[in-house]
Amino acid sequence: MRKESKHKGWNEIKTNDSWAIFKIMGEFVNGYEKLSKIGPCVSVFGSARTKPNDKFYQLAVDVAKKIVEHGYGVITGGGPGIMEAGNKGAHIAGGTSVGLNIELPFEQHDNPYIDKDKSLDFDYFFVRKVMFVKYSQGFVVMPGGFGTLDELFEAMTLIQTHKIETFPIILVGKEFWGGLFEWIKNTLLEAGNISPKDLDLFHLVDTADEVIEILNNFYKEYRLSPNF
């Protein structure tokens, strides 16, 4: 009797998995339809826990403002902290301000600086990450935690393996990211787990002007277009 009950439960799980495909497909369709209309944008990543009085919050505002002033929109994860700062900078500068929100049990809630028609909600992290990569012309990565690292390394892996075209990945805050860079160079590279050219997949900077210089120099040579 116990075995039969377990067997039925497993069948129910498999059925639920099958139906989840339609929800996943719906998130992809909705994301593609809305984001295909936003024009060239740069994604700004960073911690949801960064407070408005933090220096990196204000730096993210300044970075986003300059991004808009140079003809790009801004995409963030739609939540508080650095995400809010990115959308705020875009909003102040009068540019496109996109928020890709994720359902979480803590931390995440919409920030008030997202354009009303450009706020999207996702249940699935992997769908959301596809949207970031496909519709961004660059990643600006401010100090953050596991989620920020996940998005950073996903993009670098896709570029490294030629699954997508290259685009600028800019880490802002040398004091924060310097240790990671040294570990990549002195541990991963020394162990032969990456190639020397992989160190060129990203840039370390400290200022908004450096971010813009890297973006502009890159797109003097490459055409702006969606990835994939």
CA distances from 187 to 32, 148, 161, 190, 192 (A): 39, 21, 20, 5, 9
- Asked if residues 125 and 31 have their Cβ atoms less than 8 Å apart, the reply is no
Answer yes or no: is 38 within a domain: yes
Number of domains within the chain: 1
- Asked if residues 127 and 27 have their Cβ atoms less than 8 Å apart, the reply is yes
- Read off the pLDDT of residues 183-203 as tens digits, 9 standing for 90 and up: 999 999 999 999 999 999 999
pLDDT for 3 beyond 50: no
Answer yes or no: is 228 within a domain: no
Answer yes or no: is 15 within a domain: yes
Range of 170's domain? 2-221
- Read off the pLDDT of residues 203-223 as tens digits, 9 standing for 90 and up: 999 999 999 999 999 998 876
What is the torsion angle, in degrees rounded to the nearest 10, for the CA atoms of residue 109, residue 114, residue 117 and residue 118? -80
Determine the Cα–Cα distance for residues 9 and 158; give it in Å rounded to an integer.
37
**Cβ atoms within 10 Å, residue 43:** 27
Determine the Cα–Cα distance for residues 211 and 184; give it in Å rounded to an integer.
21
pTM, entire model: 0.89
Residue with tokens 């040579």: 221
- For the chain, percent of residues with pLDDT exceeding 90: 84
The CATH number assigned to the domain holding 134 equals 3.40.50.450
Answer yes or no: is 226 within a domain: no
pLDDT-derived band of residue 228, with 50, 70 and 90 as boundaries? very low
Determine the Cα–Cα distance for residues 182 and 7; give it in Å rounded to an integer.
51
pLDDT for 16 beyond 90: no
Region 170-174: what's the mean pLDDT? 98
